[in-house]
A = this chain, B = another copy of it.
């Protein structure tokens, strides 16, 4: 079958070149007589992949010295627990911003482990906006301040980040590597791979080295960031295939011109969709504050749920899938991560126009 345009929120579309390269090598890795996923994680073949992946992350994001890049399992959801376990002493406190469904999950875990000060609660606005970054300050004695850089379900995205006294910790699962970033503003950045980085199964953690010292010795080895920093993320067998795919995706990203070029392309793709919504004569409505509309997940509503259902079905029939909004909020969601080509977005925009004409 011809390749579809895949608007899923994650796992999400990947560069087809990266998939083809992985396919070519899946049974016999670069003429070695076995697959990379069969080779020891201590072999020179895997070591080259592991090291290159970490180096590419550092290079593309401009990770300064004094930070470690870790490759872990368990997903970003596991980081909701690992961050407070490592950074917040028993009886300690942290600050959090409640900006949507993912922040809510991070908040639930942190609450189990200490006192949480909510420095922003988007519940009153149904999570359609974000605070002015300049207004976000950490509390006295806070171990860290946590944000979610992009909310995939509500479609809000921080455009600039707060400058906080306490280390800033960001869940960047859904927009990492979509735009340039000043890593030195952050104490920890973590991200599940399955949106912009690769397939599911690996989580990137970028941590400022002084924070590694905070982890209590009482933590089980795997749950202590220090374990992984000390061993170069080879304390135990890493998720080899996922890391290999991340490497291929990062190489593709580099060929696209890096984060600057990618950010421009992402803004353009998002603008095409938001413009189509705004100029639809209110057939399409985006509930999100225009200042914080996500370049990754464009959410919008149609005049009725019935039309929304029809929209998803008819789009699917023309080779555009994954457009149904999250079940918790309904509506339509077009996830347009790095690997979504402009042609996919153009096709969606044309479809939106015809659909609106037919049903207005």
Q: Which residues of A contact B (CB under 8 A)?
A: 1-4, 6, 8-14, 16, 19-20, 22-23, 26-28, 31-35, 37-41, 43, 72-78, 80-82, 84-85, 105, 108-109, 112-113, 192, 194, 199-202, 217-223, 235-242, 245, 319, 321-322
Instruction: Provide the bound-state CA to CA distance between A175 and B10, in Å.
Output: 34
Assess whether A39 is in contact with B8, with CB atoms less than 8 Å apart: yes
Instruction: Provide the bound-state CA to CA distance between A344 and B81, in Å.
Output: 45
Assess whether A241 is in contact with B201, with CB atoms less than 8 Å apart: yes
Assess whether A221 is in contact with B81, with CB atoms less than 8 Å apart: yes
Assess whether B40 is in contact with A108, with CB atoms less than 8 Å apart: no
* CB of A8 to closest CB in B, whole Å: 4
Question: Which residue of the partner chain B has the closest CB to A221?
Answer: B109
Contacts of A80 in B (CB 8 A): 220-222
Assess whether B33 is in contact with A241, with CB atoms less than 8 Å apart: no
- Kindly list the 7 A-B residue pairs having the minimum CB-CB distance in the complex, ordered from nearest: A81-B220, A201-B239, A4-B33, A73-B73, A37-B199, A77-B236, A23-B26
Most buried by B among A74, A84, A109, A220: A220
Assess whether B74 is in contact with A108, with CB atoms less than 8 Å apart: no
Instruction: Provide the bound-state CA to CA distance between A6 and B39, in Å.
Output: 8
Contacts of A109 in B (CB 8 A): 220-221
Assess whether B34 is in contact with A23, with CB atoms less than 8 Å apart: no
Question: Which residue of the partner chain B has the closest CB to A30?
Answer: B1
Most buried by B among A9, A80, A242: A242
Assess whether A35 is in contact with B19, with CB atoms less than 8 Å apart: yes
Assess whether B237 is in contact with A194, with CB atoms less than 8 Å apart: yes
Q: Beyond the given A8-B39, A23-B27, A73-B201, please list 15 additional residue pairs across the A-B interface where CB-CB is below 8 A.
A: A3-B28, A4-B33, A10-B40, A14-B38, A73-B75, A77-B222, A81-B222, A81-B223, A108-B221, A112-B217, A113-B218, A199-B240, A199-B241, A200-B239, A223-B223
Contacts of A16 in B (CB 8 A): 27
Assess whether A11 is in contact with B38, with CB atoms less than 8 Å apart: yes
* CB of A240 to closest CB in B, whole Å: 5
* CB of A30 to closest CB in B, whole Å: 9
Question: Which residue of the partner chain B has the closest CB to A220?
Answer: B81
22 contacts between A and B (CB under 8 A): A6-B39, A10-B40, A11-B237, A11-B240, A14-B37, A19-B27, A38-B199, A40-B322, A73-B75, A73-B78, A75-B236, A75-B237, A77-B236, A80-B221, A81-B223, A82-B220, A192-B237, A199-B240, A201-B239, A201-B241, A239-B239, A239-B242
Assess whether A11 is in contact with B41, with CB atoms less than 8 Å apart: yes
Question: Which residue of the partner chain B has the closest CB to A46?
Answer: B11
With A16-B27, A108-B221, A239-B200 as contacts: A3 and B74 at CB distance below 8 Å: no
| B33, B192, B245: the one within 8 Å of A2 (CB) | B33
Contacts of A82 in B (CB 8 A): 220
Question: Which residue of the partner chain B has the closest CB to A31?
Answer: B1
Instruction: Provide the bound-state CA to CA distance between A85 and B201, in Å.
Output: 23
Contacts of A105 in B (CB 8 A): 221
Assess whether B37 is in contact with A27, with CB atoms less than 8 Å apart: no
Question: Which residue of the partner chain B has the closest CB to A240?
Answer: B200
Most buried by B among A12, A32, A38: A38
With A1-B33, A27-B23, A33-B1 as contacts: A40 and B200 at CB distance below 8 Å: no
Instruction: Provide the bound-state CA to CA distance between A76 and B237, in Å.
Output: 9
Question: Which residue of the partner chain B has the closest CB to A34?
Answer: B6
